[in-house]
Structure 1
């Protein structure tokens, strides 16, 4: 069974179509970039797939079944800007939320849960911040905390909405190393991403999206000048065509 299968997905906001008849199948054990211009529906695609926003029509299957919010197969890292960072909680408590699929929302985490959470914090370089209030963290540190929470879920498929946005170079390097480690473990990871210059370096597969699926498949086949112009149109003018072509050779 495919980790993710989306068929004819259509989503609209206030009668404006954001996604139209989107089709996509994610292969197993790949690092997949979701690429497209601002307003193309990339975040909407993830949220609709996870049932966080309603869809007009379409079918979505995760490992052959309809997704349920309590499903432990799925890990989700939202956009940092969509999180209430003033909520009075510390780093360790945020990470432990990734364990609720195992222990339930009304049972207190035990020693094993706390130990696993601390190990995930260590993997993202945040082991010395477990008592820190999340509002006191930098943008990159906040992103690492949410990655640790996703790791604690021990999911089979991960959805990450702009994990590199607003982070420093060291954090970006740490994040991509972590994503590659998940891939080595056989996980499937879908990432909304904006930097076209790093797509070939970071991702095995890409999905080019602009309201509809423009192209999807292995990066070396799909990430071409022709497909980028189909996806971005005139908005690709800021890129040097010759530079991109040279990078693909």
Structure 2
């Protein structure tokens, strides 16, 4: 069974297609980059897979089953800009939210859950900030807390929406180390990503998206100049060999 299979997915806003007949499947235990220009539908794709927005057509399966929000098989890290960071809660409580799929929404997390949450904070270098209000954390620290929450879910498939945006170099290194650790554990991780320079370094598999699926497969086979031109069109510029710049308009 494939971790994620998407067949002919179409999502429309006010009758205008944002995604049109998108199809792909991903292998288990790999890091998968979702790559494409602004407005390509990358975040929409993740939200549609998770049932956060309605689809107009198509089929989505997680391990050969229709995904349900209460399933513990999936972990999600949203875009940092979409979160209300002024909500009055501390870092530990945010991470403990990742345990509700295991304890149930109407039960309080126990000692074991707190220990797991603290261990997840430690893995992202945030254990000393456990009692800090999330509004008092830097952007990179907030992102690490959300990654710790995803770890606490102990999922099989993770979806991460631009986890590297707005973080410093140290946090980016910490995040990619964490993603590789998840891969070593046999987890499957799909990441919306915008930096073309690091795609070959970070990902085993890529999905090139621009409303439609341009290409999907192993990075060495799919991440080609021809496919990038098809994905970005005239927005793709070249500085020198193997170095790319995307001019977003």
Structure 1 residue 240 and structure 2 residue 239: aligned? yes
What SS is found at the alignment partner of 1:240? strand
Post-superposition offset of 1:106:
1.4
Aligned residues: 244
Aligned pair in 2 of structure 1 residues 230, 236: CA closer, same or farther (>3 Å)?
same
What SS is found at the alignment partner of 2:87? coil
**Cα deviations across residues 121-180 of structure 1 (Å, max 9, x unaligned)?**
000000000100000000000000000000000000000000000000000000000000
Could you say which residue in structure 1 is the equivalent of 2:150?
150
Could you say which residue in structure 1 is the equivalent of 2:4?
4
Could you say which residue in structure 1 is the equivalent of 2:206?
206
Structure 1: any 5+ residue segments left out of the alignment? Answer: none
Question: Quick check: 1:40–1:209 contact (8 Å CA) kept in 2?
Answer: yes
What SS is found at the alignment partner of 2:241? helix
Question: Quick check: 1:225–1:241 contact (8 Å CA) kept in 2?
Answer: no
In 1, distance between residues paired with 2:191 and 2:122? 22
Could you say which residue in structure 1 is the equivalent of 2:35?
35
Could you say which residue in structure 1 is the equivalent of 2:191?
191
In 2, distance between residues paired with 1:170 and 1:221? 30
Could you say which residue in structure 1 is the equivalent of 2:126?
126
In 1, distance between residues paired with 2:78 and 2:192? 10
Aligned CA-pair RMSD: 0.9
Query: Stretches of 4+ moved more than 4 A in 1?
Result: none
Alignment of 1:1-249 (within 5 A): 1-237=1-237, 239-240=238-239, 242-244=241-243
Post-superposition offset of 1:243:
3.6
What SS is found at the alignment partner of 1:67? coil
What SS is found at the alignment partner of 1:40? coil
**Cα deviations across residues 6-27 of structure 1 (Å, max 9, x unaligned)?**
0000000111110000001010
What SS is found at the alignment partner of 2:159? strand
Post-superposition offset of 1:240:
2.5
Question: Quick check: 1:225–1:244 contact (8 Å CA) kept in 2?
Answer: no
In 2, distance between residues paired with 1:244 and 1:150? 33
Post-superposition offset of 1:241:
5.7
Post-superposition offset of 1:194:
0.4
Structure 2: any 5+ residue segments left out of the alignment? Answer: 245-249
